[in-house]
Amino acid sequence: MTSTDPKAALDRFLADNPELERLSARLATFNIFRALKIERVEIRHSNALGWLLDPEQSHGLGEVFLRRIMSNMLLGTDVGVSAAQVELMTFADVEVRREWRNIDLLVIDRGNKLVLLIENKIGSGESKDQLVRYREIVSQEFPAFRLLPVFLTLDGQVSQDENAQDYIVYSHAQLCGVLEGILEQRRSQMPEAVATFLDQYHDTLRRLTMQDTELAELCRSIYRRHREAIDLIAEYGMASAFNEVATEIIEDKGDCEILYSSPKEVWFLPKWWAKVVPENGTVWRYLKRPVSVCCWVLQGSQARVYFEVCAMDDSDLRLACVEALRDAGFKLTKRAFSKDAQYSRFFNSSAKVKDWTDREELTDAIGKAFGKAREQFPKVEAVLKKVFKDKK
């Protein structure tokens, strides 16, 4: 694709774009999962699934969903219980537990002496020995029951744990198919509010698992025709949201001074440090003042906060500073103790971000990283006072 003027690309994208209008109309349809920003929140999906699996809940389906989902999970497996057997079972004594011993979902069928264990993953990975530990917990609690352990992921991912290969592999795409069938066959038996909720849950699963082919093709078509404009919007949109949130968090308590701000970086100095640190830095010329110790928040692979020392007019003083920081327990590289070192990071904290345009997620992530950094402010201040007490 040949390079064009960015403004012209945006003009073409926004003006007279019927595909964009169609997409906007699709996204304008109300969906409770999207409205509450819980489309990718595992605990909310587990809540919805637990509600559906419980025959006594208010969905009006009785045993239908439990039977269908369990039999579908068992198709093609050899675990001592077949899908056909499940379809003929009666579920008269069922208990559904959520987050019992940290297990996402546990369905206890006392009548049939079965326990369905579901570990639900949407985006996150499994912890070390997590599946094995859960299996052992349930086996000890229900020794006379047949255990059906299920590893539920968006695309039917196999567990990486060699000791958990007995887990039934199941996907949200398959779950979506079961739910679609029930909606088609049982809609007339459901209260209207339940049918509406299940339609929205089904729509959410289709989006997460890329099953909404019409929506996927519409998005592909728009991206093919307007790739330059969309990439530009994404780049500037992410940077803008990051900068705004980072600035708000840093300025929230009024105890930090911002010395420089760019789309993906915000440099700041705690006001306690500013009273101690001299303006003797020789590297960060873009800062409001030439300080030699500073902090910055960065939009990278994660949201990160760094503390750093740069080169000073007096190289011996810089060396004394990094040595004092090391003695206080901060980690520095060997290069930091060279007299000609230009930059020496001595602290960093980070938090994962999946959607850089989501202000709520950004606020949570940057807030966590900044909170860890704030805990270190007094410790750093004590070192700086000792090093620079007679030098400012």
> In this structure, is residue 57 part of a structural domain?
yes
- Angle at which helix 213-225 crosses helix 227-251, to 10 degrees, equals 100
Please indicate, yes or no, whether residues 69 and 206 belong to a single structural domain of this protein.
yes
> In this structure, is residue 333 part of a structural domain?
yes
Please indicate, yes or no, whether residues 167 and 98 belong to a single structural domain of this protein.
yes
Q: 254-263: long-range contacts at Cβ-Cβ below 8 A with a sequence spacing of 24 or more?
A: 256/295, 259/287, 259/288, 259/289, 259/291, 259/294, 260/284, 260/286, 260/287, 260/288, 263/236, 263/239, 263/299
pLDDT at 2: 46
Please indicate, yes or no, whether residues 79 and 122 belong to a single structural domain of this protein.
yes
Domain end point (choices 216, 243, 263): 216
Please indicate, yes or no, whether residues 195 and 238 belong to a single structural domain of this protein.
no
199: nearest Cα among 28, 25, 23, 30: 30
Domain end point (choices 154, 189, 216): 216
Please indicate, yes or no, whether residues 26 and 162 belong to a single structural domain of this protein.
yes
Please indicate, yes or no, whether residues 207 and 59 belong to a single structural domain of this protein.
yes
Please indicate, yes or no, whether residues 109 and 200 belong to a single structural domain of this protein.
yes
Please indicate, yes or no, whether residues 57 and 102 belong to a single structural domain of this protein.
yes
> In this structure, is residue 51 part of a structural domain?
yes
Low-confidence ranges of the chain (pLDDT < 70): 1-7, 9-16, 20-28, 210-216, 218, 222-223, 225-239, 390-392
Please indicate, yes or no, whether residues 113 and 238 belong to a single structural domain of this protein.
no
Q: For residue 6, what are the CA distances in angstroms to 10, 11, 229, 230? A: 6, 9, 7, 10
Please indicate, yes or no, whether residues 78 and 187 belong to a single structural domain of this protein.
yes
> In this structure, is residue 226 part of a structural domain?
no
CA distance 126 to 131: 8
Which residues in 114-142 are b (16+ Cβ under 10 Å) and which e?
bbbbbbbbbeeebeeebbbebbebbeeeb
Q: Are 207 and 215 in contact (CB under 8 A)?
A: yes
CA distance 293 to 316: 15
229: nearest Cα among 16, 10, 17: 10
Q: Are 289 and 279 in contact (CB under 8 A)?
A: yes
Helices (H) and strands (E) in the chain, counts: 14, 10
172: nearest Cα among 196, 132, 203: 203
Whole domain around residue 332: which residue ranges? 233-388
pLDDT 10s digits, 236-255 = 555 578 888 999 999 998 89
Please indicate, yes or no, whether residues 137 and 273 belong to a single structural domain of this protein.
no
Q: What is the tally of structural domains in the chain?
A: 2
pLDDT at 76: 85
pLDDT at 253: 87
